[in-house]
Amino acid sequence: MPKLAANLTMLFTEVPFLERFDAAARAGFKYVEFLFPYDHPAEEIKARLDRNGLTVVLFNLPSGNWAGGDRGIAANPDRVQEFRDGVGRAVAYAGILGPPRLNCLAGKVVPGLGRAEHWRTLVENVRFAADALAAAGRKLVVEPINHYDIPGFFLNRTQEALDLITEAARPNVYVQYDVYHAQREEGNLVPTLRERIASIDHIQVADNPGRHQPGTGEINYPFLFAELDRLGYGGFVGCEYVPAPDTAGSLGWIQAMGCRLS
């Protein structure tokens, strides 16, 4: 069964961010991911990782003013330099924290600008980020987000991400396949995984409806996890869900579904 990573942006929110590393380790996790590390010095995060024997498997490139409503800026023609400056910052953090991949969020459509202009910007920014990460020995993943949770998000469907990868033409660019977003936007989960697993470098999970832990909704996660094994998926599965009723009370599915933390 897949190796699980605790998403520390979503889980263990009962305590401040830096304390979540301790909480994840106490719960038995060996791997973690999170949206952004940039509010804290990389050295502080590294100390928490080392103290707890944890490995970071993923975080996002800087994605604009998250608190102000940004959900990425990679497709925004008006913020190209900001995006590229952010890539440099992310590479510096990755050099200390060590994740093998970073995630790129396309962001929302800019009113008044056409799709073609957004697309050109996204392709060029992905090429820039991929080249910077390749020089550092890392991969770039791009994540489609469903249009219900984030209205106006530019990249919604798996095929759009695959088209982007084809046009960007960089060998270190892959899809981040978020099962929750895929279920809301397009369904067809297992056939997509069967057809596209070679292009997928990271997977995230939550159930639907509610975005709570696997086993709380309509997705047949035991079947999906077994299929990942059949497909030989060797990557990580990030637990990016809203825990119900709380983090400790949400973790029973891991053992029940035969997943592993190490």
pLDDT at 77: 98
Q: What confidence tens digit (pLDDT) does each residue in 191-231 have?
A: 999 999 999 999 999 999 999 999 999 999 999 999 999 99
Residue 261 lies in a domain: no
Residue 42 lies in a domain: no
pLDDT at 229: 96
Q: Tell me the mean pLDDT in the region 36-42.
A: 98
Residue 41 lies in a domain: no
Domain range enclosing 152: 61-240
CB-based contacts of 101, cutoff 8 Å, min separation 6: 57, 58, 138, 139, 140, 141, 174, 201, 202
pLDDT at 164: 98
Q: Residue 81's pLDDT band (boundaries 50, 70, 90)?
A: very high
Residue 207 lies in a domain: yes
Please identify every residue annotated as catalytic.
Answer: 143, 240
Q: Residue 241's pLDDT band (boundaries 50, 70, 90)?
A: very high
Residue 27 lies in a domain: no
pLDDT at 179 over 90: yes
Q: Residue 260's pLDDT band (boundaries 50, 70, 90)?
A: confident
Residue 121 lies in a domain: yes
pLDDT at 1: 80
pLDDT at 2: 81
Mean pLDDT of the chain: 97
Distances in whole angstroms, Cα of residue 184 to Cα of each of 7, 210, 240: 20, 11, 15
Farthest CA pair distance, the chain = 49
3-state DSSP percent of the chain in helix, strand and coil, to 5: 45, 15, 40
- 175 burial via Cβ count (<10 Å: 0-12, 13-18, 19+): buried
Q: Residue 117's pLDDT band (boundaries 50, 70, 90)?
A: very high
Q: How far apart are CA 262 and CA 54, in angstroms?
A: 10
pLDDT at 262 over 90: no
The string over 49-63, giving b where at least 16 C-beta atoms fall within 10 Å of a residue's C-beta and e elsewhere, is: beebebbbbbbbbbb
pLDDT at 249 over 90: yes
Residue 185 lies in a domain: yes
Residue 157 lies in a domain: yes
Q: How far apart are CA 262 and CA 259, in angstroms?
A: 9
Q: Tell me the mean pLDDT in the region 149-161.
A: 98
Verdict on whether the full-model pTM lies above 0.75: yes
Q: What is the CATH number of the domain that holds 78?
A: 3.20.20.150
How many independent structural domains does the chain possess?
A: 1
Q: Tell me the mean pLDDT in the region 153-177.
A: 98
pLDDT at 40: 98
Q: Tell me the mean pLDDT in the region 3-19.
A: 98
